[in-house]
Amino acid sequence: MCADERKKGTNMQYRVVFSDIDGTLLNSKHQVTPDTRLEILSLEQRGIPFILVSARMPDGILTIQNQIGNHAPIICYSGALIWGTNGEILYSCQMNLNLAVQIKNMLDKEFPNICCNTYGHNKWIVDDDKNLWVRNEETITGIKSKIGNIEEAFAKNAGIHKFLLMGDPKDILILEKRLKQDYPNLHVAKSTEYYLEVMEEHVRKSKAVRILCDHYGYSMDEAIVFGDGHNDIDMLKDVKNSYAMANAPKEVQDSAAYVTLDNDHEGLLVVLKKCFES
């Protein structure tokens, strides 16, 4: 752990923290614990940004950030969109709208049991807002989806930031294989066994972390990252001081430098206290 490393003489000073939200920062009740919130605010008072990194849309992340009460940039859509502290766009990487429409038509025709959610900036477009997958996601994020045609909804921006495809794990596996085969230039990754994310090929959480480290003038070695999902693997591998949650799948744990306690036992808080103890 961090405290032990310092005793060995590394004198590492961590200057920024990046954390996934669901399954990492939030416990299984989708809550930030009071002690974790206080620790994050304490870090901010000491000049250490706590940056949320999520597959969520901006408003879904801001809901959590507002609960905490800290002020920092946010990384949305697994790195496809970065907002600055004041809501300014620092980075945006979209999938071409024509390609997105092509994929959506294929999904409608060949995978009717898959629930397709299409995101761009702060829009969330679905076919049926009464769908149980959609309603569950609305409950978790506190955001309301909108029914619409993606070609019309995203015409102004000429692209989307992400597809979130929901379904039975067996169907998700088949769809993942199909998309990777037919669209090798897209980034296709599971966030859970039920959720598959599809984005432009260059989208990575690790790239977004590097962009913000450069923004602050910090090296990647001065960062700590936390995650629990398959879409966190690249970030956990690329950052030296990386922590997977004990509730993460084995593949995710193996990709991190360290494993901390699970999200129901404040694994993130345990590490923060050890890494930033005075």
**pLDDT per residue over 131-174, tens digit each?**
999 999 999 888 999 999 999 999 999 999 999 999 999 999 99
Architecture field, domain 13-92+204-275: 3-Layer(aba) Sandwich (3.40)
Quote the tokens at residue 268.
């993130």
4, 20, 171, 254: the active-site residue? 20
Sign of the Cα torsion 17, 139, 203, 123 reads negative
Quick one: pLDDT at residue 8?
35
Residue 4 among the catalytic residues: no
Confidence band, pLDDT 50/70/90 cuts, at residue 12: low
Tens-digit pLDDT profile for residues 89-106? 999 999 999 999 999 999
Quick one: pLDDT at residue 7?
33
**Whose structure tokens read 């495809």?**
165
Nearest-Å Rg of the Cα atoms of the chain is 18
Q: What average pLDDT does the segment 204-215 reach?
A: 97
pLDDT at 4 over 50: no
User: What are the beta bridge partners of residue 117?
Assistant: 164
Top CATH class of 95-200 equals alpha beta
Closest CA to 95 of 74, 111, 81, 109: 81
Intervals of CATH 3.40.50.1000 along the chain: 13-92+204-275
Q: What's the distance, CA 198 to chain centroid?
A: 13
Intervals of CATH 3.30.1240.10 along the chain: 95-200
- Cβ atoms of 77 and 159 closer than 8 Å: no
pLDDT, averaged across the chain: 93
The pTM score is: 0.89
